[in-house]
Amino acid sequence: MPVIVDEVVISVEVGNREAGGVAAPAEATMPVADRQALVEECVARVLDILREREEP
């Protein structure tokens, strides 16, 4: 039986100490460009996996 994914939900929690939020973990000190590249790579891999599952 094929599995059909109608929606993918990605949740992100961001802390902002300057605005009174929680302290950011050590990993959050990564430069923004590196974080963006990491997120793009993760999304690409997830989409590849979903495409592979979709193929008969």
Task: For residue 18, report the phi and psi dihedrals to the nearest 5 degrees.
Answer: -65, -30
- State how far the alpha carbon of 38 is from the alpha carbons of 31, 42, 56, in Å: 11, 6, 30
Q: Side chain identity at 20, as an amino acid letter?
A: G
Q: Could you report the per-residue pLDDT of 27-39, keeping only the tens digit for each?
A: 557 788 888 888 9
pLDDT of residue 11: 80
Token duo for residue 25: 């973990």
Higher pLDDT, 3 or 36: 36
